[in-house]
Amino acid sequence: MTSGTIKDSVQYPVLRNLQFSPIKQGEDQLVVLWDPSGLSQEKLVLPLNFFFIVQHFDGEHSIQDIGALYLKRFGEFLLPSKVEQLVTDLDQKLFLEGPRTETARQQARIEYRQRPFRPAVFAGRSYEADGVKLRKQIDGFFTSSEGPDFKPSEHKGKLIKGLVAPTYDLKQAGPVYAWGYKELQECQQPDVYVIIGTAHAGLENLFAVTEKDFETPLGVISTDQQIVSRLKAVVPACVEEEIAHQAEHAIEFQLPFLQTSVNKPFTIVPILSSFSASSLKDTTVQHSVERFLTAFRDIMTESGKTVCVVAAGELAHLGLRYGDNAPPTDFSFHRSMQRDLEMLKHAEELKPEEFAAYIQRENDQRRISGFSPIYSLLRLIQAEKGQVLRYDRGITDQYNSTVTYASLVFF
């Protein structure tokens, strides 16, 4: 087909940016697909041969092309009617790009903008939905054997400039969050918390800001309308994808810790980000990131308010779930841990370009999903030093797929 020709979406289907996880049922190996953006609430379990098919739904392979690849891979013919039925099923679940999905997106945007605030989507699933129980749960993260307890911090009384915290499920990573927020409890607390979280579903504009206040079981947190309005005026594209906040957990998971750690009125600036270290080699991406961060840094200065930047993101992603050919071993995990800590040394020293270069040299083989929030934090804050407080990992599936994460503080 000639360049610029619009391809038939039925014959050249395009899978949306979905997440997947390998699962085992008895002797059968399967893959489950779901939508991290929350636009679709469906899940789809596929045998490996059907997962092979959908991996080629990239808009470049026709159904006939996929049939030829399937024959080469599995040694049997693939009836076009089977693929067409799969395309129909995926389209109905909003798993494919196309008119049905675009209509659903537009409706979701309208509904999100009509809401008085962004609701606590993960309350009752990832953390307690009852306020009293939630406070007890948060306290338990501090006092657990892996937590920081309530001993005095060596940084007590200093003005905190930044935090790095996980976005992993609170039930597993709660104590690691607590190590970071323990510092916040004892420091000189700022007026505004800029929370930059990983947009796990991806973003076209690299950054997405929302004007919505955020609800939690502990009350509603006000978004700083003065700062967000200025940002919207200077970089209008930053609010075009605010719908990304609807189902993203990265910011939501920080809020109960803020509410139980900060002892004075405060506001937040909720920002999602999505760009990789490798993508910064692209001058267009580089320019977009530079424009947003420069504008935002100036706006924070103009506001006259004291600000703490919280980067909410994870580090390495290892194993079958994340595209590796085999589950991680103890050796491969410990090697990755060593590399994580080497990488974070650049963050401690407030060297954003060296932080990016470290990941670029690895070709991001370990999939550092928290790169964009951490890089943005390092570009925005003016601090003397950073410190890694705690490092840990979570196991995400029965194949030992692993996510690593850490808490850091900056003064």
**Helix and strand tally (H, E) in the chain?**
12, 13
What per-residue confidence (pLDDT) applies to 374? 98
Flag whether pLDDT at 5 surpasses 70. Answer: no
List pLDDT tens digits, range 152-187.
Answer: 888 889 999 999 999 999 999 999 999 999 999 999
Flag whether pLDDT at 19 surpasses 50. Answer: yes
Flag whether pLDDT at 340 surpasses 50. Answer: yes
Residue 99 exposure: Cα atoms within 13 Å on the Cβ side: 4
| Pairing label, strands 192-198, 307-312 | parallel
Instruction: Using the structure block, give the residue that is written with the tokens 């927020």.
Output: 181
- Mean pLDDT calculated for residue range 194-222: 97
What's the CATH class of domain 122-410?
Answer: alpha beta
- Mean pLDDT calculated for residue range 1-9: 58
Q: What is the mean pLDDT of the chain?
A: 95
- Tokens for 177? 């969050």
Least confident among 29-38, 149-158, 226-235: 149-158
What's the N-to-C CA distance of the chain in angstroms?
57
Flag whether pLDDT at 119 surpasses 90. Answer: yes
Residue 183 exposure: Cα atoms within 13 Å on the Cβ side: 26
- Mean pLDDT calculated for residue range 311-318: 98
Contact 183, 409 (CB under 8 A): yes
Flag whether pLDDT at 2 surpasses 70. Answer: no
User: CB neighbours (10 Å) of residue 304?
Assistant: 7
- Mean pLDDT calculated for residue range 365-370: 97
Question: Which residue would you say has higher pLDDT here, 26 or 65?
Answer: 65
Helix, strand or coil for residue 272?
strand
Long-range contacts of 11-14 (CB under 8 A, 24+ apart): 11/62, 11/63, 11/64, 12/59, 12/60, 12/61, 12/62, 13/57, 13/59, 13/63, 13/87, 13/90, 13/91, 13/96, 14/57, 14/58, 14/59, 14/96, 14/97, 14/98
Contact 20, 32 (CB under 8 A): yes
CA distance 57 to 68: 14
Report domain extents, the chain: 19-106, 122-410
Beta bridge partners of 207: 273
- Tokens for 87? 């395309």
CA distances from 69 to 49, 56, 200 (A): 11, 9, 30
Beta bridge partners of 408: 164, 388
Flag whether pLDDT at 48 surpasses 80. Answer: yes
Where residue 26 falls among pLDDT bands split at 50, 70, 90?
A: confident
What per-residue confidence (pLDDT) applies to 41? 92
CA distance 192 to 303: 10
| Pairing label, strands 19-25, 28-34 | antiparallel
